[in-house]
């Protein structure tokens, strides 16, 4: 049985429209029949899963298939669809106009039903290749922005989020928090239990951090055992409470490494405020980094907070 494919007919002449609908339904296609450009566009924008292939008449009162093709290709919200134009026009200039407007194929009237079915099958192959290409591109986008070990955002991606959130906070006049986190004594985990065990700890740690954040917060692996957390639109006390809860969750639950259970702690530095006070994203990073090193120097397993940007030459 042929997989069901939605086909949209755009044909103003009732007899021709019904004949085409019957032909396609006999070939086991899911057919939607419309009479003009406006009706077709209304359907495409209304249906959650619109037709993937369109068979449209060129000559229609008030508008034509050329304008329909242009409207569909200009609408970036619509998924890609394969368009076949039907027309009595036979000269090469008209065919070129149709293809330039966005049509994928062209068939002269009166058409041979078997030829039309073959053109539709060719269109389905192109649609399948298009879906495979989109899927591959999506996988590449995910790979390019994801840390391979923890599945968190990688450094470039989380810095992109930070840039966007700083711009948003500047525009909206809201406060935000940037948090730097580092696993305490992580080198000992690698030295004693091996790097595979260390990888397990990093993976578990990233999961616990993610689970403790708000749905609109972001976290990424900044490098090694360092993680960068971005919390938009949050008051100072709210940021402190969230990060303290993260610290406690890490400390109070055991990690698994090399068939052993380990107690892991981490140090956190918070930079909080309005972007206008910090200048740019680097000032947020610098301040959060300084606060994290203060936490390290003051015994680890704690949270340090600053609402003022650190001096550029004070980073350690």
Are 271 and 314 a contacting pair, CB within 8 Å?
no
Chain-centroid distance of CA 269 in Å reads 29
Phi-psi region of 225 (alpha: psi -120 to 50; beta: other; left: phi over 0): alpha
User: Exactly one of 67, 93, 225, 237 is catalytic; which is it?
Assistant: 225
The rounded distance, in Å, linking the Cα atoms of 173 and 274 is: 7
Tokens read off for 263: 């107690």
Shortest CA distance to 160 belongs to which of 170, 172, 146?
146
Are 219 and 206 a contacting pair, CB within 8 Å?
yes
- Compute the C-alpha angle 304/152/177, nearest 5°: 30
What backbone phi and psi angles, to 5 degrees, belong to 28?
70, 35
Q: Is 225 a catalytic residue?
A: yes
Phi-psi region of 273 (alpha: psi -120 to 50; beta: other; left: phi over 0): left
Are 17 and 35 a contacting pair, CB within 8 Å?
yes
3-class secondary structure, 14: helix
Cα dihedral 6, 12, 18, 22, rounded to 10, equals -30
The rounded distance, in Å, linking the Cα atoms of 66 and 59 is: 9
Tokens read off for 88: 């009595």
Tokens read off for 305: 């907070």
Own/partner pairs for 109-114, CB < 8 Å, 24+ apart? 111/86, 113/23
The residues annotated as belonging to the active site are 225
């Amino acid at each position: 049985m042929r997989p069901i494919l939605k086909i949209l007919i755009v044909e103003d002449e009732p007899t021709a429209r019904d004949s085409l609908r019957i032909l396609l339904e006999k070939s086991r296609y899911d057919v939607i029949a419309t009479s003009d450009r406006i009706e077709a566009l209304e359907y495409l924008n209304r249906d959650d899963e619109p037709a993937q292939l369109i068979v449209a008449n060129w000559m229609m009162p008030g508008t034509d298939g050329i304008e329909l093709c242009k409207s569909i290709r200009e609408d970036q919200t619509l998924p890609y669809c394969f368009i076949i134009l039907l027309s009595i026009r036979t000269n090469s200039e008209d065919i070129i106009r149709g293809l330039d407007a966005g049509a994928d194929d062209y068939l002269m009237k009166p058409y041979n039903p078997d030829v039309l079915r073959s053109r539709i099958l060719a269109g389905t192959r192109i649609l399948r290749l298009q879906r495979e290409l989109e899927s591959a591109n999506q996988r590449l986008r995910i790979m390019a922005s994801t840390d391979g070990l923890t599945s968190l955002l990688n450094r470039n991606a989380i810095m992109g989020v930070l840039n966007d959130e700083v711009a948003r906070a500047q525009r909206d006049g809201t406060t935000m928090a940037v948090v730097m986190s580092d696993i305490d004594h992580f080198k000992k985990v690698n030295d004693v239990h091996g790097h595979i065990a260390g990888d397990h700890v990093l993976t578990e740690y990233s999961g616990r951090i993610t689970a403790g954040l708000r749905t609109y917060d972001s976290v990424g692996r900044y490098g090694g055992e360092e993680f960068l957390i971005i919390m938009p639109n949050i008051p100072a006390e709210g940021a402190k409470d969230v990060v303290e809860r993260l610290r406690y969750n890490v400390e109070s639950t055991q990690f698994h490494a090399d068939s052993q259970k380990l107690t892991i702690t981490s140090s956190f530095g918070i930079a909080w405020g309005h972007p206008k006070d910090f200048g740019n994203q680097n000032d947020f990073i610098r301040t959060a980094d300084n606060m994290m090193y203060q936490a390290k120097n003051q015994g680890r397993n704690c949270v340090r907070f600053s609402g003022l940007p650190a001096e550029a030459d004070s980073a350690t």
